[in-house]
Amino acid sequence: MTVLVVAAHPDDETLGAGGTAARFAAEGREVAWLVLGEGVTSRGGDGPEVDASLRQLRAECAAAAKVLGVAEVRHGGLPDNRFDGVELLEVVRMVEQVVEEVRPELVITHHPGDVNVDHRLTHDAVLAATRPTAGHPVRTVMCFEVPSSTEWAFGTRVPFVPDVFVDVSEWIEAKERALGEYASELRDFPHPRSIEQVRALATHRGSTVGVAAAEAFQLVRTLR
């Protein structure tokens, strides 16, 4: 089975499904990432500074992918935190092209209730790009949670209600090492994007289903 993770920003893919990616890769499945946004320009800074930050973040993403065994990483370069200024059709076509080339059976992406607008529009684009027409390769679509975005919606949007859990007990350390490559994105405890809190969330999700560590997902649809 080929798996495509579609994320809005570099680090979202590892935060949301890094352990699952590592497990699937170890089991011999091909895992690819599509990161739609560049993840930097909303933070300000001048040209050379922004260029250096972009290079650093892409290098961190590549290093994280290598740790997890991800076969391929593609970047869309969309403007950070400004997906709402891009025609949705443009984003949909970007996803469609990668789906056509990668031919994934499973697509994992953002939850529609996240506080971040880029996350929500990524979800919308993925749903449009994976419409279940005859002969389409995608058989399953599900959503991940991103610490510091999904839970920060505080119930003002559709809540994240996980119903699929992947046991990542043997791969949580790989996820933590991959996140460690994102020096520019991690935060100190007790921020949700600290290593300690990522481990705590995996432990909590694991306890829900009787394992040491898990990643939780919400199923959109599946065809068996």
3-state secondary structure of 103: coil
Q: Nearest CA to 185 among 33, 40, 19, 7?
A: 40
Span 171-210, pLDDT tens digits? 999 999 999 999 888 899 999 999 999 999 999 999 999 9
Closest CA to 76 of 34, 42, 41: 34
For residue 13, the domain's CATH number is 3.40.50.10320
Calpha distance 161→137 (Å, rounded): 26
pLDDT for the residue 45: 67
Angle (CA) 63-201-23 rounded to 5° is: 45
Q: Map tokens 């994102």 to a residue.
A: 182
Any idea what DSSP says for residue 24? H
Report the run of H or E that residue 220 belongs to, with start and end: strand 214-222
Q: Domain total for the chain?
A: 1
| pLDDT at residue 219 tops 90 | yes
Q: How far apart are CA 17 and CA 146, in angstroms?
A: 9
Tens of pLDDT, residue by residue over 134-176, are 999 999 999 999 999 999 999 889 999 999 999 999 999 999 9
What's the confidence (pLDDT) of residue 182?
95
Host domain of residue 184: 2-222
pLDDT digits (tens, 9 = 90+) for 33-82: 999 999 888 877 677 888 898 999 999 999 999 999 999 999 999 999 99
Cis peptide before 190 (omega within 30 of 0): yes
Angle formed at CA 73 by CA 69 and CA 79, multiple of 5 degrees: 140
Q: What percent of the chain has pLDDT over 90?
A: 89
- Name the pairing type of β-strands 30-37 and 72-78: parallel
108 class by beta-carbon count within 10 Å (0-12 exposed, 13-18 middle, 19+ buried): buried
